Structures are given as C-alpha cells and as structure tokens.
Amino acid sequence: MRMNETEKELIKMVLSGRAEAFEPLVTPYRGPLLALAYRLTRNREEALEVAQEALLRAFRALGRFDISRSFRNWLFQIAANEARDRLRRRTRERAAFDEAVQGAPAAENPETGHDRQEIRSDLMRCLDVLSPREREVFVLRDLEELDIRETALALGCSSLSVRVSLSAARRKIRQTIRENFPHLEEGR
Amino acid sequence: MTCRRTKRLIPLYAGDDLRPQLARAVRAHIDACPACGKEIGEYRLALARIKAAAKDEARPDWGEGEWRALMARVAASAVEERHPTTILRPRWAAATVLGMSIGLAVLSMLFRDAAFGPGSVTPSSEPAAMDAARKQDVVAVTLVSPETGLQVVWFFNRNFEWKGDEN
C-alpha cells in the first residue's frame, strides 16, 4: 500500500512545523492501529497505551520516515515494536515477581488473566495458541495484509524467518479451528 | 515433489506466500494428488474464515477524550521540540554570577591601569588621584562562595602579577 499525495502533503506540513497537520494524517489509522495493538497485546488498556506511544513516537520520528514506504505500514511497525517491548517487559517483571514470592502458589498466567477481564472473541482465542512471534507474523500478514517483505521489515527479521513463523502459525490456527471452533470452519 | 514435502509447504502455498518456483512445483503436485489438493482447500477455507472473523470482530475504539488528550500531547511535544525549556540550576546560576563578578573586577583593574599607568596621558587637573593610583602597589580580589561561605583573597601587584592568596 503506497502513500497517497494527501499523506505526503500532510507529512511535509508537519515537518515544516505545523503540528496540527499530524491529526488528519493519522486519523484514518486510529482504528486499525488500536485493533493491531489489541490483537498483539490482547488487552484493551495495554493496547491503548501501545497505540498512544506508537503515535507519539511516529510524530517524533517523522523526519526519518522514508516516503517510498507505506505510511500505514510504518505506523504498524512502530506499534508492533512497542507491543513487543511491553510484552518482554511484562514477562521480565512477572519472572522477577515469581522469583520474589517463591513458595507461593504459581502465579496466574497474564494471558489467562485477560480471559477473566474480557469477553474474548473466537478470533482472539485462536490467537492465544500462537507464540508471540507467530502472533505478530500472523496478525501483520494475514489480518492486516502486509506482504512478506513489509512484515519482515516491520519485525526487523528476514523474509525466511517470517515464512517459517507464518507456516507454523497457520498450521496451529487451522488445528485450533478444527478442534475448538468447528462453527468457524463451517462458516457459521 | 513428494506428498510429504508438499504438506510442509501447504500453509504458505494456501496464502500465496511461496516463491514462484516452489509454488509452480506445488501446483504441479496437487494437480496429480487429490489428497494434497483437499488439504490446501481446507487451509484456504480456515484462512478465509479467520479473516472474515477478524473483519466482523468488534474492535476497541478510542474514546473521544483519549484521542483529544493524545493530540494535545503531540502538540505539546511539538512546542517543546521547538522551544526547549532551559533550566538554570541555582548552583550554576551562582557560579555564573561569581564568574562574571571576577571578570568585571579584573577588567576594571586592567582599564584602571591603562588609564593611570606610567605611559598614559592623565588630566593635569587631577594630580592627587594619579599619585594615589601610582602608590597602590597591591590589589586584593576577594572571592566568596555563596554555597559554603568560603572566602579566598588573591593579591596582585600593580602589573597584575599574582602574589599569593589567603583563605
């Protein structure tokens, strides 16, 4: 997906100091960006923080944006990085917490915790079976429809690595649908 | 291509993500192998279903207040980038004032020497002041730290050569 002329104009305006042009530039992506963050973090509050941080980072880094790329994909790349950083941080914090309370009953898996807080869609429950990397690849390639090259660029890895993770993700998704969500398979 | 190898490639083939050469080989195989063809059909169906579920899914949305607050943060960060706030810490402010005082004292002494020095032309109407200046052989500069109260006195001769200090 290439940039349109309006986006290029708006970017030029922001770079020339007219910060108010940033809002019309990103408004078309406010929904998709939040949805992406939600699918990656699987938590509404965290998704909101990820999307906010991604937009702030995008504003600060706009001068380094390569206009030969898709602006949408660039935003998605920033959001995916932010979501990954948060996931890592959360995992580290949880490990430190578990270590500190050794002997206490095993801590609840954060992802299971989300189940209690939110009524989750079938899609989100299908995504639960994927590893973090598989989920990133599957969400960007199959749900957001970035191509393999853009997905690799967004995740900072090779196309080969994307293909390996994508293959594993599709295998698991198909298996999960067959076993747990037959109504999806039947199109109901 | 064997069924085993084809099955490994089916997940990528189903989403058109194989390199053209491999895709051609898989296509040639499934034309002759109904079992692999059926499996590809199942993968494609699963992908189509999950994409449809993703489109139908209720997505979280920004509250209008959250969006406005974010845009305000963007605007604020733009102002900050254009006009970075300079914070002059008290310690640095004191040091700056002290440095400027010393500089002014030194400059005033230099100019006084130039005005009243041996080679300078002085107004004949002020002989007494000129004599007094000539008689002043030692100049003392006192430095006081506003933080610790420590005082240092430096002594210079009339040519502004340092002659010692006193704490």
Question: What is the ipTM for the molecules in this complex?
Answer: 0.74
Contacts of B8 in chain A (CB under 8 A): 167
- Indicate if A42 and A10 belong to the same structural domain: yes
CB pairs under 8 A between A and B: 102
Asked if residues B158 and B113 have their Cβ atoms less than 8 Å apart, the reply is yes
How far apart CA B149 and CA B167 sit, in angstroms, is 11
Looking at the fold, whether A129 and A105 belong to one and the same domain comes out as no
Q: Say if the Cβ atoms of B11 and A47 lie within 8 Å.
A: no
Same-domain check for residues A138 and A108:
no
Q: What is the pLDDT of residues A91-107, one digit of tens each?
A: 787 777 777 766 555 44
Closest-CA distance, A105 to chain B, in angstroms, reads 33
Same domain, A31 and A97: yes
Domain with A1, as residue range(s), is 1-119
Flag if A48 and B66 touch (Cβ within 8 Å): yes
Longest dimension (CA), chain B: 123
Domain end residue (candidates: A98, A119, A140): A119
Residue A166 and residue B59: Cβ atoms within 8 Å? no
pTM (two decimals): 0.65
pLDDT value at A169 more than 90 = yes
**pLDDT tens, A75-88?**
999 999 999 998 88
pLDDT in tens, A112-142: 444 444 445 777 778 889 998 999 999 999 9
Spell out which residues of chain A touch residue B43, defining contact as CB-CB under 8 Å: 170, 174
Q: Do A30 and B73 touch (CB under 8 A)?
A: no
pLDDT interval class at B137 (50, 70, 90): confident
Query: A76: closest CA among A43, A56, A59, A51?
Result: A51
pLDDT value at residue A76: 93
pLDDT over 70 (residue B20): yes
Percent of chain A with pLDDT over 70: 84
pLDDT value for B82: 63
Same domain, A77 and A88: yes
Ranges A78-82, A138-142, B40-44, B124-128: which has the least confidence? B124-128
Point out the domain boundary residue: A91, A119, A147. A119
**What does the pLDDT read at residue B76?**
85
Res B132: pLDDT: 59
Q: Is B87 on the interface with A (CB under 8 A)?
A: no
pLDDT of residue A81: 92
Whether residues A71 and A107 share a domain: the answer is yes
Same-domain pairing of A66 and A33: yes
**Which residues of B are less than 8 Å from A148 in CB distance?**
17
User: Bigger pLDDT: B92 or B12?
Assistant: B12
Do A73 and A1 touch, CB atoms closer than 8 A?
Answer: yes
Fill in the amino acid letter for B167. Answer: N
Query: Is B22 part of the contact surface with chain A (CB cutoff 8 Å)?
Result: no
pLDDT at B85 exceeding the cut of 60 = no
A8 and A98 fall within a common domain: yes
A98 and A168, same domain (yes or no): no
Q: How confident is the model at residue A165 (pLDDT cuts 50, 70, 90)?
A: very high
Of B15, B59, B70, the CB nearest to A142: B15
pLDDT > 90 fraction of chain A, expressed in percent and rounded: 47
**Residue A64 and residue A127 share a domain:** no
CATH of the domain at A75: 1.10.1740.10
How many domains are there within chain A?
2
Contact criterion met (CB < 8 Å) for A56 and B58: no
User: For residue B81, what pLDDT is reported?
Assistant: 67
Which chain A positions have a beta carbon within 8 Å of B78's beta carbon?
17, 19, 59
Q: Which of A119, A150, A166 is the last residue of a domain?
A: A119
C-alpha distance from residue A24 to each of A7, A13, A30 (Å): 9, 11, 10
